[in-house]
Amino acid sequence: MSSGRRPWSARSAYDLKRRHTAAPHPCRPRGKALTVFQLDKSQQDFQEATRSWVEKHFPKSLANELERREHEYPFQLWDALADAGFHGVGIAEEHGGQGGDTIDACILARELARNLGGLTWTWAISSFAGARAIAHGGTEDQKQQYLPQLAKGKCRFSIAVTEPGGGTDLIGGMHTRATPTSGGYKLTGQKMWSTGAKQADYLLLLALDGERDTKGRPRTTLFLLPTSSPGIEMRYIPKLGMRAIGSCEIFLDDVFVPTEQVLGEVGSGFRVLTAALNNERILSGAMALGMLDGVLDEVLEHARNRKAFGRPIGSFQIIQHYIADMLMWQKQSELMVLDAAWREAADMPCHAEANMAKVVTSEYAVKAADQGIQILGGVGIAAETNSQRFWRDVRQFRIAPISNEMARNVMAESVGLPRSF
C-alpha cells in the first residue's frame, strides 16, 4: 500500500461508500421473520480483503515482534493503516472517511485482532475516542476540523477518563476539575490508564465543572485537549499485556483549554461520552472475538502437526473436545457482537447488548487463550507463540472498559431489579 491510495475504490471488491441501498440489510427482518445473522456479499468481500491485507503486511510473527518492544509505539502499523484507508472506516464520506457503520468497524476490528491482538488498539482508540465521540457530540466546525484528519491518519486520540480513585465508580471517584477562566477552562487533576496518550495529539478528557444537575449529581464536561498544552505530564505504567502501546498516568497542573475545545454541551460530558463508550464495548467484543480466532488458528495447526504416541494429538478425544468448546465460544461471541453492532448501526438502544457482547466475548476469549496454552503444552508459555500473547492482551477486557461484574449489575438493573451499587 505504498502508494497511499485507498484500497476500496469503486471497482474494488468492497466499497464502504456504496452502502446497502439495493440489497436488504443482512440483519433486518425480511417479511415477518428475522433472518439469521449473515454478512452480505460485500461485507464478506471486505472481511476477506482485510484478512489478506493483515496476513501480507502484519503476520503473527511480526505482531509478536512489535508487541515485545515495550513502550515503542508501532508507528509502522499506524502508517500502514493510514495508507490502506482503514482509519476512515466508520467516518462519513462527507467528512473525508470511507463510510461504513458499526458492523463494518467490527469486521475490521476482528480481522486486525486475529493477528495483531492488542496492537489493534492502534486503530481502535482513535476510532471510538476521536471519530465516534466527535461524530456524535461535536459541532459542525469540530467535525470539519477533526474527522478528515482522523480519516487520513493525520492525528491520534487517547481517552482520559479513569482516575486513581475511580475506575468502576467513575464519577464518584473523579477529582479532576475544570475551572472557568477567561476564554476557556483550567484543568487540574490526574488521569490513569490513558492508552497511547504519549503519542496522541488530543485527549478526550472528562472533568467535573463544579456544578450539580437538577438531581444533585456532579456535572461533567468533555474536552478535546491538545497534548501539547503546557502543564501536562505523562508517565508510562508497566503492564502485563499490550506492552508496545503504552498506557499512561497523566498529571494536569492548571492546563488551559479554550472554550471551543468543549465537546458537546457544558455539563453534559458523560452523556456525550456514553455514545463512545457503547461503541468501545462493541469494538472490544469484536477484538476479543478476533483474538479467539487467532488462538484457534494456532491450536488447529498444532493439533494437526504435533505428534505424540505415534499420531497427531488432534486425534485425541480430549484435544478435540477442547477445540469443539472453542468453536462454540467463537460462534456465540460472533452472534452477540453482530447483534450489538447491528443495533447501534440501526440507531436502536444497545447499551445492554453492548455490555453483553463485551462480557461474553472477553470471558470466552480468555478461556480460549488459556486452553490454547494448555493444548500447546510447554511451548505454550514461550514468547514465540501466540496464545500467550492473546491471553495477556485479552485478559484486561474482563476489567475494561467496564468490569464484567459491573456490567452484570447494569444488566440486572435493566430488567427491573434494584440497583446493587
pLDDT of residue 18: 43
- Residue 210 confidence (pLDDT): 78
Grid cell in block for residue 197? 496518550
Q: Which residue has the cell 489478506?
A: 52
CATH 1.20.140.10 residue window(s) in the chain: 271-414
Cell of 28: 433486518
In this prediction, residue 20 carries a pLDDT of: 40
- pTM (predicted TM-score): 0.90
Confidence tier at 170 by pLDDT (50, 70, 90): confident
Q: How far apart are CA 402 and CA 123, in angstroms?
A: 20
DSSP string, 1-25: -TT---S--TTSS--TTS-SSSSPP
Query: How many other C-beta atoms can be found within 10 angstroms of the C-beta atom of residue 334?
Result: 20
Q: Quick check: 407 and 420 in contact, CB under 8 A? A: no
Average pLDDT of the chain is 90
The one-character DSSP state at 172 is: T
Per-residue pLDDT tens digits for 302-351: 999 999 999 999 999 999 999 999 999 999 999 999 999 999 999 999 99
Predicted local confidence at residue 9, as pLDDT: 38
The predicted structure's pLDDT at residue 62? 97
Q: Which CATH architecture has domain 271-414?
A: Up-down Bundle (1.20)
Strand partners, 208: 177, 220
- Residue in 207, 203, 217, 212 with CA at minimum distance from that of residue 177: 207
Q: Which pLDDT band holds residue 157 (cuts at 50, 70, 90)?
A: very high
Residues with Cβ within 8 Å of 73's Cβ and at least 6 positions away in sequence, in order, are 122, 196, 198, 199, 244, 245, 246
Q: How far apart are CA 247 and CA 199, in angstroms?
A: 10
Res 4 pLDDT > 80: no
Q: What is the pLDDT of residue 187?
A: 98
**Is CATH 1.10.540.10 the right assignment for the domain spanning 41-156?**
yes
pLDDT digits (tens, 9 = 90+) for 367-379: 999 999 999 999 9
Strands (DSSP E) found in 139-242: 157-160, 177-181, 184-195, 202-212, 218-226, 232-237
Strand-pair partners of 262: 223
289 burial (CB, 10 Å; 0-12 / 13-18 / 19+) is: buried
Cβ of 46: how many Cβ atoms within 10 Å? 25
pLDDT band at 95 (very low <50, low <70, confident <90, very high): very high
Q: Which of 117-121, 278-282, 326-330, 386-390 has the least mean pLDDT?
A: 278-282
Split at pLDDT 50, 70, 90, the class of 15 is low
Q: pLDDT tens-digit profile of 180-211?
A: 999 999 999 999 999 999 999 999 999 998 77
Mean pLDDT along residues 56-60: 98
Q: How confident is the model at residue 274 (pLDDT cuts 50, 70, 90)?
A: confident
What number is the average pLDDT over the span 253-261?
98
Average pLDDT over every residue of 204-230: 89
Please, where in the chain does CATH 1.10.540.10 lie? 41-156
What's the burial of 242, exposed, middle or buried (CB within 10 Å: 0-12/13-18/19+)? buried
Q: What is the pLDDT of residue 17?
A: 46
Give yes or no for a cis peptide into 180 (omega within 30° of 0): no
The string over 103-134, giving b where at least 16 C-beta atoms fall within 10 Å of a residue's C-beta and e elsewhere, is bbbbbbbbbbbbbbbbbbbbbbbbbbbbbbbb
Class of CATH domain 159-267: mainly beta
Confidence of residue 169 (pLDDT cuts 50, 70, 90): confident
In whole angstroms, give the CA distance from residue 218 to residue 175. Answer: 11
Rounded CA-CA distance 385/374 in Å is 12
119: pLDDT strictly greater than 60: yes
Q: pLDDT at position 25, please?
A: 44
% residues pLDDT > 70 (the chain) = 91
Distances (CA, A) of 183 to 18, 226, 228, 242: 43, 16, 18, 39
The residue written with cell numbers 455490555 in the block is: 355
DSSP H/E element including 363: helix 351-376
Give ranges for CATH 2.40.110.10 in the chain: 159-267
Tell me how far apart the alpha carbons of residues 225 and 322 are, in angstroms, rounded to a whole number: 47
* C-alpha cell, 236: 508510562
Which grid coordinates belong to 129?
Answer: 475516542
DSSP annotation of 421: -
pLDDT for 285: 98
d(CA 257, CA 66): 35
DSSP 252: E
Residue 19 has pLDDT above 90, yes or no: no
The phi and psi torsions of 259 (rounded to 5 degrees) equal -55, -35
- Alpha carbon of 178 to those of 68, 84, 163, 190, 365: distances in Å? 38, 39, 15, 12, 39
Given a cut of 70, whether residue 147 has pLDDT beyond it is yes
The larger pLDDT score, comparing residue 396 to residue 28, is at: 396
Please tell me the distance from the alpha carbon of residue 100 to that of residue 73, in angstroms, as a whole number.
27
